[in-house]
Amino acid sequence: MRKITFDIETKNLFQDVGSNNPTDLDISVVCIHDSSDDSYSSFLEGDLKKLWPIIERADMLVSWNGDHFDIPILNKYYSGDLTKIKSLDLMREVQNVLGRRLKLDSVGKTTLGKNKSGNGLDAVEWWKNGEIDKIIKYCIEDVRLTKDLYDFAITNGHLKFSDFGNIKEIKLDTTEWEVPQSATMTYTLPF
């Protein structure tokens, strides 16, 4: 099963665009891990045409908050509908069990002992300062953390979080995660 784990960074913030709609934001970079060759890649906004064939050949997209944030933004740039590709949003999986959202940094730190290397506000500042390499490095590290959490959950059936200093497990049913979804049409078609 070919999985594309991905994350995006934006050029701006909700307060910059006067909206809480993710599609009003603009992409600075998309970073991915492709399970077919265990590679990490980055795509600036002008390079997205190179990303689409990779995503279209994916059996599943893996993200943290991708269903709510990343996929809607990507769809703004894509001629089809990326929601037609099977998506596994780890944050949504956690939320379905706990009834609340958790941050990638919190789950990564508790489950794997790995922290994020920055935050989205940093990435926007780096964009404004022309520090593209910093954005890419940060974004790839988020992809790596998301991929590692996915792999941990598949192997162990849970992730962990800290609840007021007490480490708790989030039991996840991963039995359907790697079952391919049948697709009979090209994603670039508008229907």
Q: Tell whether 188 is covered by a domain.
A: no
Q: DSSP of 108-136, one letter per residue? A: HHHHHS---S--HHHHHHHHHTT-HHHHH
| For range 56-80, the mean pLDDT | 96
Output the pLDDT for position 40.
Answer: 98
What tens digit of pLDDT does each residue of 34-45 get? 999 999 999 999
- Give the span between the Cα atoms of 34 and 3, in whole angstroms: 6
88 near 35, Cβ under 8 Å?
A: no
Question: Binning pLDDT at 50, 70 and 90, where does residue 165 land?
Answer: confident
Q: Does the structure show a pLDDT above 90 at 182?
A: no
Residue 43 maps to which CATH number? 3.30.420.10
* Angle at CA of residue 110, ends 137 and 170, nearest 5°: 115
Residue 102 lies in a domain: yes
155 lies in some domain:
yes
Percent of the chain with pLDDT over 70: 95
Q: Say how many domains are in the chain.
A: 1
Judge whether residue 189 has pLDDT over 70.
no
Entry pTM: 0.92
Q: Give CA–CA dist 31/25, Å, rounded.
A: 17
Please give the helix or strand (H or E) that residue 95 lies within, else none. helix 90-98
In a domain, 12, yes or no: yes
183: in domain: no
pLDDT digits over 105-155, tens only?
Answer: 999 999 999 988 887 889 999 999 999 999 999 999 999 999 999 999 999
> Does residue 62 lie in a domain region?
yes
The pLDDT of residue 188 is 52
CA 115 – CA 102 distance, rounded (Å): 14
Give the burial class of 20: count Cβ atoms within 10 A of its Cβ; 0-12 exposed, 13-18 middle, 19 or more buried.
Answer: exposed
- Whole-number average pLDDT of the chain: 93
Q: How many CA atoms lie within 13 A of 33 on its CB side?
A: 18
Which of these, 178, 147, 148, lies nearest to 63 by C-alpha position? 147
Q: Which helix (H) or strand (E) holds 94?
A: helix 90-98
- pLDDT, tens digit, 9 for 90 and up, residues 2-44: 999 999 999 999 999 999 999 999 999 999 999 999 999 999 9
Contact predicate 143/5, CB 8 Å: yes
- Given this model, what pLDDT does residue 150 score? 98
Question: Residue 20 domain-assigned?
Answer: yes
Domain of 111 in residue numbering reads as: 3-171
Across the strands, what pairs with 41? 32
Question: ∠ CA 106-112-118 to the nearest 5 degrees?
Answer: 50
> Is pLDDT above 70 for 184?
no
Element (H or E) spanning 63, and its range? strand 60-63
Mean of the pLDDT values across residues 43-53? Answer: 96
Residue 191 in any domain: the answer is: no
pLDDT, greater one: 147 or 191? 147
Q: Which percentage of the chain shows pLDDT scores above 90?
A: 87
